[in-house]
């Protein structure tokens, strides 16, 4: 799919995300805005998935390790056809299957339950290892936050992936420089991330995580380095696309007022570049 069309889809997902957070009175809107371009490129360009056959054994897998941004994943899945678009209106409601964190048992297209940070990459290493053992061609992708990279379990998984030459595994780090309550630099600053992953034997790319041309190129199968897992450090902005949310730590977990909601939607309705 052409980058311009991907940008339009991402913009549509952003608008629906903001409305769902506003209507539900809860959500992680800032981190969702930073990850939506990545999710859009994955589901509408890079990944081999079929909404009519969500358990196809030959499908590519995505693990959203930063599970608190589940709403962005749900809306992306609805745009792709895995779940009805109208179901997004049930987000966080009583008996809804669209909970605050993804649930593989309930939601088609979700590959594993996530929430506790630092678990998604280890699970993805297991998936990629399984594909190697089966001599299968499908790829495994995992998205983590940059604050999440402070978890030691991730670095154990990083070592294992390099040891077993999992070139069918791609780690995407949503590097928006902010985590709950503080900047990454003010807590446990794991940046710069690229040289650390390279030191562990990974093939690493750094990109603008809101540039569709760069994202799609980085995710393309022909750019995989044989014998090495891939890490894409995607430099993003928390609250991307909304002026008062952008790069603002307060919007990790906050609900817009009616006036803020209307301003956000008005800004997002501007034509995507």
Contact assessment for residue 130 and residue 164, using Cβ atoms and an 8 Å cutoff = no
Rounded average pLDDT over 249-257: 93
pLDDT of residue 273 exceeding 60: no
Contact assessment for residue 35 and residue 68, using Cβ atoms and an 8 Å cutoff = no
pLDDT tens digits, residue range 53-66? 999 999 999 999 99
Look up the pTM and report it. Answer: 0.96
At the top level of CATH, the class of 3-268 is alpha beta
Task: Name beta bridge partners: 52.
Answer: none
pLDDT of residue 270 exceeding 80: no
In the chain, where are the structural domains located?
A: 3-268
Angle of the 3-24 helix axis to the 70-80 helix axis, nearest 10 = 130
């Amino acid at each position: 799919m052409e980058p311009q069309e991907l940008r339009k889809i991402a913009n549509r997902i952003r608008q629906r995300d903001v409305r769902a957070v506003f209507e539900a009175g809860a959500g992680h809107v800032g981190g969702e805005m930073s990850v939506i371009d990545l999710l859009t490129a994955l589901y509408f360009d890079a990944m081999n998935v079929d909404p009519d056959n969500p358990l196809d054994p030959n499908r590519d897998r995505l693990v959203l390790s930063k599970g608190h941004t589940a709403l962005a994943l749900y809306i992306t899945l609805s745009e792709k056809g895995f779940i009805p678009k109208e179901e997004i209106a049930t987000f966080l409601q009583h008996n809804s299957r669209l909970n605050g964190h993804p649930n593989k048992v309930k939601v088609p297209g979700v590959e594993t339950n996530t929430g506790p940070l630092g678990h998604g990459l280890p699970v993805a290493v297991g998936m990629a290892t399984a594909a190697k053992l089966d001599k299968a061609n499908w790829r495994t992708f995992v998205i983590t936050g940059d604050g999440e990279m402070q978890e030691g379990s991730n670095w154990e998984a990083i070592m294992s992936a390099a040891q077993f030459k999992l070139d069918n595994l791609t780690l995407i780090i949503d590097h928006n420089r902010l985590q709950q309550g503080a900047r990454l630099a003010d807590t446990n600053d794991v940046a710069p991330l690229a040289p650390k992953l390279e030191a562990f034997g990974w093939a690493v790319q750094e990109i603008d995580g809101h540039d569709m041309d760069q994202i799609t190129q980085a995710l393309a199968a022909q750019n995989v380095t044989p014998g090495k897992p891939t890490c894409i450090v995607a430099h993003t902005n928390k609250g991307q696309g909304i002026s008062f949310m952008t790069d603002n730590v307060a919007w990790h977990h906050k609900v817009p007022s009616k006036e803020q909601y209307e301003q956000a939607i008005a800004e997002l309705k501007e034509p995507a570049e």
